[in-house]
Structure 1
Amino acid sequence: MSSQRMVPHLVRIHHRARVGIAALLLLGCAACTPPPNEPTEKPAEPQATQLRDAMQKPLDDARAAQAAVDADAARQRKAIEDAGG
């Protein structure tokens, strides 16, 4: 009868051995995987450039138009002063 009691104990030991070997194999496979690609030295471009450009273009256009209006006004004042007025 003592052999009947030993069998469940051996089955548990055998099962634990299988689980241990499987765990070791998984760890071994994980250790052999190549490292991830190293990041490039070039910093990533900001993703909000389109939004920034879309907001900046009208402001630049307005500044250019204001500069043209100011230049025309200055020419007109000079013409009035030269005409004696």
Structure 2
Amino acid sequence: MPPSSARRFACLGAIALGLALAAGCSKPQPPEKERPVDPQATQLRDSIQEPIQKAQAVEADVDAAANKQRDAIEAQAN
């Protein structure tokens, strides 16, 4: 490279470094204000939670039936 190209490249590098440092020292942006919840997000959450809640409601009945069956089997074995 001729000396003028090297000098130009060094000058551009110094400018780029200065811009990068200036950008790093800029004032931080304030946080966004809270947005209201998107109705589609709540619908999705509700549609996911619904079968889980139904399964939890049925769990007590299944446990009771299993205990009743276990007691019946033990009664026949004795």
TM-score, scaled to structure 2: 0.44
TM-score, scaled to structure 1: 0.41
